[in-house]
Every structure is written in C-alpha cells, then in structure tokens.
C-alpha cells in the first residue's frame, strides 16, 4: 500500500508540475489573449491553486519574477494568483517583491491578491 501511495503522490506532483508548465506557456501565445482571456485561463490557474502544489513555490516565485521583469502584467497576474492559492501567506514575500519591482500601473489584481492574504 505504501508504494501505491507514493506512486499516487508522484503522479499528483507530476500533474501539478504539468499544469504549471501549461499555465506558464499558454499566456505567451498572443492569440490566447484578448476578450475573455481571464475566463479562458481560469481553469489553468485553478489547477495549481491548491495546498498540494506548495512544493512548486520556488518555481512559481521564479516564474512570477520572470513575468514581472518582462513587464507582462497578464501572465504576472495569473502566476501571482496561482502562487497565492498554492502557498497562502507564505507567498507574501514574493508577491510584495513583484509589486515593488513591477513597472506596470495596472497592478490591481496583484494588489488584490496581497490584500486577500493579509486579511486571511
């Protein structure tokens, strides 16, 4: 039984890693952006928004920082939302760094994530 549980755990981790990779890759396609993009990406963002995905924290933080550096507010917001859902208050340092270094004036969604975590 223990071997089966470990295999299931590995399979769940692999699925979460694939979901993160897909979430990170799809916003790059400009055809994916446009009217209704937030709704289209919601299922992708929700997959890693689980405490089981907390092991992805370093990758989520790196990807968030990369999107901030690239001045990509759409991908930044998607990654910030996934990070906040996966890591809860542990995500605050990375989210605050993103907010401080972000060059966009449209950080409403990023600010909302931060405020939600402070309220929690």
> Which residue pairs, CB below 8 angstroms and at least 24 apart, start in 65-71?
65/94, 65/97, 65/98, 65/101, 68/98, 68/101, 68/102, 69/101, 71/103, 71/104
Q: What is the chain's mean pLDDT, rounded?
A: 84
Q: For 74-86, how does the pLDDT look when each residue is reduced to its tens digit (9 = 90+)?
A: 888 889 999 999 9
Alpha-carbon span 88 to 95, nearest angstrom: 11
Q: Which two tokens stand for residue 22?
A: 């897909």
State how many domains the chain has. 1
CB 87 within 8 A of CB 54: yes
Residue 111's pLDDT band (cuts 50, 70, 90): confident
Range of the domain at 83: 2-119
Rg, Å, the chain Cα set: 15
């Amino acid at each position: 039984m223990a071997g089966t549980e470990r295999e299931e755990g590995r399979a769940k981790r692999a699925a979460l890693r694939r979901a993160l990779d897909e979430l990170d890759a799809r916003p790059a396609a400009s055809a994916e952006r446009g009217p209704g993009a937030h709704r289209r990406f919601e299922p992708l963002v929700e997959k890693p928004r689980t405490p089981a995905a907390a092991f992805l924290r370093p990758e989520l933080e790196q990807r968030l920082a990369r999107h901030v550096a690239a001045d990509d507010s759409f991908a930044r917001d998607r990654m910030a939302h996934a990070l906040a859902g996966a890591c809860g208050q542990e995500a605050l340092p990375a989210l605050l760094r993103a907010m401080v270094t972000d060059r966009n004036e449209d950080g409403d969604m990023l600010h909302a994530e931060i405020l939600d975590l402070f309220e929690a």
